[in-house]
Structure 1
Amino acid sequence: MSVYQLLLFCFFSGLRGGNSRFVDKRASVFTGPEGGNAFLIFQPDQAGTTMFLCKNQCKGDDILIKTDGIIGERGDYTIMRTSGSLGRSIIYVSLTNMTQSDSGWYRCGFGSSADPDSYADFEIRISKDRPKDAGFALTNTEGETVLYPCITSKTGGRIFFCRGECTQEDDILIETSENFAQNGRYAILLFKSGQYVKIEKLKKSDSGQYTCGYRSDSSEDTKLTFSILVVEKPTSSIGPGLVVMILVLFFVGGGLYLWKKWRYQNA
């Protein structure tokens, strides 16, 4: 079996007023808006006859959709397959009217949900603080590094990486005609498989919208706009009450040890 790329893309955002995103090979985390609609797009390493979407343990009622057709629907969940570039299959997964109960771990792929031919694992979180039309945001923790696939090909010209929609000169983080360029914590990398952008040592202030792509003097920019949400590092699970208890046990234990030692010496 093989784990395939979850890729974030934007051209499908018109359907049902939702938004879509490309993701990488990790079990990525996405935060969506409560009450909103959003899409994820998956590009598998290999296709199959049966397409599925499941949640949690992927057994029994956790299997949300399983179909040999082009489209499968169940409640507010929809999966659809189509052909992408070079004839590779693409699976679209959409969630509509998202609620807190949609939060959790998911798997999407081809084959059996228990032993799939190719699949992707991902986590969805639902937030009431995100605007309903915001779509999914790739969610990372402070201090992490995010490597994000931008476009699958380059026909010439310069590649760029911007904060926001890249409508102003100040939005540009990097613009280069080389295969690699770095500006502080930001970088652009160009491989045969396409363009990637990277942000190192993420901060909460990095949360927001970004744009990447390429431009030439003879044609319009080819670009992708995506969102990143950076959350705080988890705090220690040791609360103040537990700390006090540990200190009390330490001093009591130490006191008993010294008392027994004194009794032994004076016996």
Structure 2
Amino acid sequence: MIFFFQMKMNIHHFLFFCFSSAALFDGSAGLDQSQPFIKMKGEDFRNPFAFQAPTGSRMYLCRNDCKKEDIVVETNGNRAMSGRYTIRYDRVENKVVVVILELTQSDAGWYTVGVNGSSLGPYRFEIKVKEICDRVIFGESRVHSATEGGNITITCHLFSQQLNRKFFCTEECNTFLIDTNDVEAMSDRYIIVYGSNMFKVTITQLTKSDSGWYQCGVGRLGVNECQKFEITVTGGVGLRPVVYSIVVIVLLVVCVLLLYKRKTRNVDYVNTRGTERNMEIPIYDDCSAVSTHEEPVYQELDPCSIDRSVYNSLEK
């Protein structure tokens, strides 16, 4: 009985060895993960796989059938990176860590990670990428208008609790502007503030390039609910136009003052001339009027007034 049991165990070991050898030879087979890894679009994939690899062994990550054209990254060292894909070997824990950054729908599918010469693996696993928003609603106002240079705050009418995931993203959430589980959070010009079972998102210092579609969302038990809306940013009064307006107003004020001053000087000049003429008149008024009639040089003598003694002396 013991003999048959030992034979059975040896057969299992032999089959496992053959299976592993074949997998290591062509890299197409491996130990399949029982459950797929389900990730959201935009999330990063990070997962360790147990290996016992000799130093200098080839480490690789490939897709589909693991043919030459399917290899996304490989190395004979401890770490390699190609685009969004990274593999690194942790010799302390004897694990190969696979990293895929910012998952997209095209990243969905089967992968194989392996190390040549390892007694474990290779491992085949599946990644499923689902959309960020499982359910999308529209707010009370689908279009929100704002002025360039100002701020805009929009209420996300999504029931949420303080510790729920809260995020704000552009269009189809290809780019996350802010993603948090906190009550308040800020990232660059974007702010999230929680209150009254919902939260508000704010964009500060708006520019015309901020115009477009956005989504705010709440994550609850692996299900994301989102609210979609549009923001239009119109031109406002910038700094330069204000400065130009002030300069124009100042110039107008200066011109008015100059014209007023000039007019005042003219009036003073006229009044001064008038005063001078008025001052000349009293000078001539003090003088006797010049007569045009010439009085005779010789006055007529009255015969009665002649002293006869004068004639008597003359006669003598």
Same fold (TM over 0.5): no
Greater C-alpha radius of gyration? 2
Which structure carries more strand by proportion? Answer: 1
Short-chain TM bin: 0.3 to 0.5
Which structure carries more helix by proportion? Answer: 2
TM-score between both structures, scaled by the size of structure 1: 0.42
Q: Which has the higher contact order (CA 8 A, sep 6+)?
A: 1
